[in-house]
Amino acid sequence: MSAPTNQSGAHGGPAAQNPATDARSARAPRGALREPALIVLEDGFVLRGSAYAATGRTVGEIVFSTGMTGYQETLTDPSYHRQIVVMTAPHVGNTGVNDEDPESSRIWVAGYVVRDAARRASSWRSVRELEDELADQGVVGICDVDTRALTRHLRERGVMRAGIFSGDALPAGAASMGEQAVEVLLDVVRESPHMAGADLAREVSTEEAYVVDPTGEHAGQEPVATVVAVDLGIKSRTPEQLAARGVRVHVVPQSTSLSAVLALEPDGVFFSNGPGDPGAATHEVELLRGVLDAKLPFFGICFGNQLLGRALGYGTYKLEYGHRGVNQPVLDRATGRVEITAHNHGFAVDAPIGEASVAPFDGGRYGRVEVSHVGLNDNVVEGLRALDIPAFSVQYHPEAAAGPHDAEHLFDRFVALMRERSTTTTTEGEAR
């Protein structure tokens, strides 16, 4: 694989400072010497804890992740851009950090909230301490807080803006929860941008296109298919999954034009996961409609699922608290099989779950569409399948490195769809 070092999809390169973070010192002291820290939610909910990783201040949308493993993949997932992540697992950091598990070249979370921070890593794969990695990349965190109470609050009130404050970012009296000091911090949080309406894919996308060639038993051979993957916040394991199946993957920036995509003569097009509001992604939706008009096989995941929904004419809406974690049950309506899946999304597609419906865009231009997958916790749309054009998508992550791997077969489905179209195109050409 050849890739620039500043990509979201590459493993190397320098860390970039999060614009929502003002990290004022290298790292928080550990153990009994930790300085005080506050986490402040926009509705006035405040918890006192201890400084963790970098000290200073950070603001963002606060969300919770229910995964008990794979925190390194979570931290380096570009979909968490501008979000403060609360870990519901109580003990975090015991497996440390290694150089094999990152999903991109940097940590993307705006802030990190843990209950019990590990004193030291104990995994044989660890090469660095998690707290050191967070501090080195300027990520402001907080530990020693009741993450259960915080998660229950978000479950009741919904996700919202929040801030973590420590060190020089704490005004006088804040450490003792003084009313005036807390009001100052509340003003900072309430002046921060909302996630609704945020167009963020351009902030995490690769700046330059790169190619991932077939690997494993397919290495050095002609690819079974060529795919253009539009990087909206792509994780490194996505092109790896395709490459392992003999596919050559051209990863291209979010701003790529339809003519540039078609010039690569792809057998299929893929839209990745990513951050932000799908309602603000007007360029991506227009690009996708061009792909659908060209009858190219399409596969989208997470943000790509939401964009397919909008391209077809369905709406999207913000979930109350979203789905984040590696233990979300999803029903495949075609097979009746329940898959345990990895999620990271705060928006969802608004499409009818019953019978197939005609896609609303342009008087039904794209034909019939069915909801292929449904979340069993709350009946949210988790997948779409077009019945008259070669396109499908899922809201979850079949590439999830930390697991579960129930949905990896979807990459096989995409390859089969491309091969089917190639065979059909060849047969039609011979008939002429």
Enumerate residues 6+ apart whose C-beta is below 8 A from 178.
172
Please state, in angstroms and rounded to a whole number, the distance separating the CA atoms of residues 415 and 339: 21
- Return the closest-CA partner of residue 273 out of 326, 317, 322, 235: 235
190 burial class (0-12, 13-18, 19+ CB within 10 angstroms)? middle
Q: Give the three-state DSSP class for 131.
A: helix
Residue 134 half-sphere exposure toward CB, CA atoms < 13 A: 33
- Known catalytic residue at 399: yes
Please state, in angstroms and rounded to a whole number, the distance separating the CA atoms of residues 86 and 151: 8
Whose tokens are 């590990």? That residue is: 118
Whether 303 has a binding-site annotation, put simply, is yes
Q: Give the three-state DSSP class for 362.
A: helix
Whether 346 has a binding-site annotation, put simply, is yes
Is the distance from CB of 150 to CB of 159 less than 8 angstroms?
no
Whether 274 has a binding-site annotation, put simply, is yes
Please state, in angstroms and rounded to a whole number, the distance separating the CA atoms of residues 287 and 412: 24
First to last CA, the chain: 39
Is the distance from CB of 223 to CB of 247 less than 8 angstroms?
yes
| Torsion angle of the four alpha carbons 282, 285, 289, 290, in this order, in degrees rounded to the nearest 10 | 70
- Known catalytic residue at 397: yes
Q: Are strands 225-230 and 357-358 parallel, antiparallel or unpaired?
A: unpaired
Here the tokens at position 354 are 């019953």
Please state, in angstroms and rounded to a whole number, the distance separating the CA atoms of residues 128 and 98: 7
Here the tokens at position 178 are 């003084």
Please state, in angstroms and rounded to a whole number, the distance separating the CA atoms of residues 385 and 417: 12
Instruction: Tell me which of 42, 284, 302, 370 is the catalytic residue.
Output: 302
Is the distance from CB of 171 to CB of 40 less than 8 angstroms?
no
Here the tokens at position 247 are 């596919």
The backbone torsions φ and ψ at residue 408, rounded to the nearest 5 degrees and listed phi first, read -60, -25
Whether 79 has a binding-site annotation, put simply, is yes
CA distances in angstroms from 429 to 388, 425, 432, listed in the order given: 20, 6, 5
For the annotated binding site, the residues are: 79, 274, 276, 303, 306, 344, 346-347
Q: What are the catalytic residues?
A: 302, 397, 399
For the annotated binding site for L-glutamine, the residues are: 79, 274, 276, 303, 306, 344, 346-347
